[in-house]
Structure 1
């Protein structure tokens, strides 16, 4: 069944949309529904004699001839839509979204105007526009840049300042994978970042080293977080330039590390001098007793008691030497007591700073090829760094000799069968064929004319205490390769 005419009338009377019926020819008001009467504050009888200038705002765009033209457009074209500002009986004005439609009735054509108050909508739109414009001004003028990333960490949108920090234009950066512009720490694909963003708790601090097109390097610090808006979730990174701060911190760290290196270097030298001095006395005494025994044994009638006395004294002197060596081992164990999970690549890079200082003094170039992944080991970073420095310094002294043609030192890191390996290569004089490599590893060898091999002994002991080895191998086409091998940390260690 279709609703009867009175049902349609009832619907029109109860709708919240205002309805005015104008005569098509004269544009006079013929009728208004209750919603229209409430908006104007007039009764139907009061509305009927009113003209457009009586019930419209006073601005020029709402003058009577404009309103009449609008209604006439509906008569000609069938319908016409316009924003029109009406004026109520009490003088208040309200903006409407109005549609005029030509309707052919039994008594003749009329124009039906349907309108609704949109003041609140316009106010909201203006507020949103203001907020959007304000955010755009902030993005343009603030000291921090804003980068919007998609789920794959590619750039969806970027503020002009952020693009400037990367040394590119916004158009050049659109769709670029963020870490193609420079490595982030932590890595964006790491479990830490994924877990933090997935949990929705707070943000992740990011430090990124950016290599610009002009060859310069800058450091950017940012906060990456998930921002929910309009039913969507976006990754937003706020970045700022911290190059000056990072370089200042690195200079301070280098200076502090240099002081630590010099103190360790001096301590190692002092310990070597003390060790040589303390061992010299019992070894010299043992040599003297051995010479005496040899002389007595060559005599006609050696005295057994004198021979036994000499042997006892030699045994005492050797025991004293053993005690001295034991005390050194205990000292090294004490300074190795602090063991943590460390990245061997970071330790090597820190050590190379001091190696390059020494190399520059000797006119030696240092080349490094550091593996682009973490090499986590369980150990003490300072001691392992000292081993790397000690081996490199020995190599530099060999390279600096006049007979060495290639004045280059190569340091490479790699992973081999569950172990982290540091290769230190030179093209110096190399190992003598008569000198077995196991004697090198045992610390009984020094290529220096006045060397004692004490540094190699200590380095070997430190590496052995970390469960690793030091191997001395021939380098191609000449020289020596020193391979420092240390076991990588297992999953249980890495999880700590």
Structure 2
């Protein structure tokens, strides 16, 4: 069932809340429902002509700049809520609890839907200023983003309690301070590139802050500094939120990637050592035999013959020494103990997907996952299996991110077939129709300009060591599906 415009208006007009629809960029009012018009005592046409300071309380806590900053926070984060005091046509203030949500309307573009309900229980409240202040603090404390108003020199003119608290201060303590005095930004606000961006009427800069309290505990904040033009004047709004948890995950991700690269090199080193030990052992033994035969045929009666024999014997000793080294490498590689365990394949996939989603977010790719409902228990090294999954996912994401790939979606599925489990990674990129699967498995192929294919061969070796294999299949309607198959354990 679809809702036509008439039905939508019927729903809006019968809502118990007032609705104000603002244009996301300019913040001007586009539409209001009946409840909002009754609250403000204006018609829709009159509301459309109003500016923020015409319909907000003259109380300093509800200045025009704070109202615009609050709406801009919703533009940045997608939603916001707070206590706000409006003023009707007769100059009477009314207190509301307002919710702002960013909505992308087809044919109109992004707008802000502000829903508000009037708080009328004033008789049961403490004195209005105290009640309003406590309630505002409580709501802002539970809101994910704090807001700060900065002047053109990036000094704080006003801030929400949450924003000040995120920096470890109270609101009075941070007024007139340069934002760089409150924390360490990862962007030089005095750099020419940043200044040029902030000179634009609607310039925006993303910043990360490292905040350290008196106990040495670090906190990381993500901030968005926006310029907003309102009635010819320029406002600078900084929206901040705590991302300490995300940064810790990124640190763990970086550590995991370094560790996985080490394990991959370690694994490849073992493979190459085995190849050296196997392939060099035979020619070394053959060379020793040939030298032995030559030494028997040489006459030892002359001094020249004895000199040649001595040289051959020394060569044989060096060859024997090389053979001993190769054999010792072979024994060492065979003694390496693998830290194997039985684990649920889904856990390894989900952990790997976290890192893949970080890359996907950067590249604008959506990851769709479809997991088998049962546990898929496999035996092996979960870190190495995770390395295979990440490697395959990263290759797919790089392919999807290409301008020639229209469908910016990667699909990851897990399946079960009797005693085998499979992980399928699919994209709708260029595909691999011209490259035989055996060359892919041998690491002889890479679609990247500077690629060597070593990631594929390492992944294949890891899968083989776990009793599995990797296959490359065409995806429908186009692209590639990489299937990682591993044996299940009881």
Specify if TM > 0.5.
no
The TM-score, its normalising length taken from structure 2, stands at 0.36
Larger Rg: 1
TM-score (normalised: structure 1)? 0.36
